[in-house]
Amino acid sequence: MIRRAVLIISIEFLRLNFSLFAAGYSSGSSKYCYENRKLREYSDLLNYLTDPDDGARCIVASSTRRIWDYWISKKGNKTAPSGDGFQLMEVYQDAPSLQVCDVLIDGGQTSFMYRFVGTEIVQSRHQMKKPDFTGLRFEEVEYQYDFSEIHALMNKTVQSCNPVHMIRRFDAYDARGTQERLILPLVDTNGKAEKLVIHRTRLDEIVKVSRPQESSF
């Protein structure tokens, strides 16, 4: 009888937890989206954010959410904020994890020139020949892993003027783990993308080699 009672209690406990998990996940809670990904060893996530509410659904890191909320606040009724509307000093807390690049159209081909690279990004690349790639075009930068997907998504963001949110596993020279990335367009007076703001933060990592001491922004 005791064993039967323990078994029944255990089953009900599992049912309750599953119900709570399912309710939280279906509601779009970032916590439950994140926990669900953890259970599946961080399955890849890629969202094309065509609606302002989309970004609130599965954003994990608080820094990513702050950048998303700031972009939304500057967007207003437009497709995206203007290039001058997004001010780094207004998001200084998260500037170390940001990159800003100009959109260049050359002979019908789209390229990108990095105008700002945050210290967190630079320090994670300390083993590269040129850790700080400010002033370089996308194709001139030496990356730690395959950036072809990111390049394609940057191009897609330029064409659609819709943000992209992604979570991916990574294996770089300095560490391996899981990172979250947000690609946000900034538009000119004609409503065409003239800049991209890219936020990248690591949700978890196993450090392979120690990094230089981080400096404040």
Tens digit of each residue's pLDDT (9 = 90 or more) over 148-177: 889 999 999 999 998 998 888 888 877 888
CATH architecture type of domain 44-207: 2-Layer Sandwich (3.30)
Q: What is the pLDDT of residue 145?
A: 81
Indicate the pairing of strand 193-207 with strand 109-117. unpaired
Q: What is the pTM (predicted TM-score) of this model?
A: 0.76
Ranges of residues in the chain with a pLDDT under 50 are: 2-3, 5-43, 215-217
Question: What pLDDT score was predicted for residue 45?
Answer: 64
- Write down the pLDDT at residue 177: 87
Distance separating alpha carbons of residues 96 and 82, to the nearest angstrom: 21
Confidence at residue 151, expressed as pLDDT on a 0 to 100 scale:
93
Torsion of CA 66, 70, 72, 74, to 10 degrees: 180
pLDDT at 18: 37
Give the pLDDT of residue 108.
79
pLDDT value for 168: 87
CB 64 within 8 A of CB 180: yes
Q: Order of strands, edge to edge, in the sheet holding 164-171?
A: 45-48, 164-171, 175-187, 193-207, 98-106, 109-117
The pLDDT, as a whole number, for residue 59 is 84
The rounded distance, in Å, linking the Cα atoms of 95 and 119 is 8
**pLDDT at residue 170, as a whole number:** 84
Q: State residue 25's pLDDT score.
A: 32
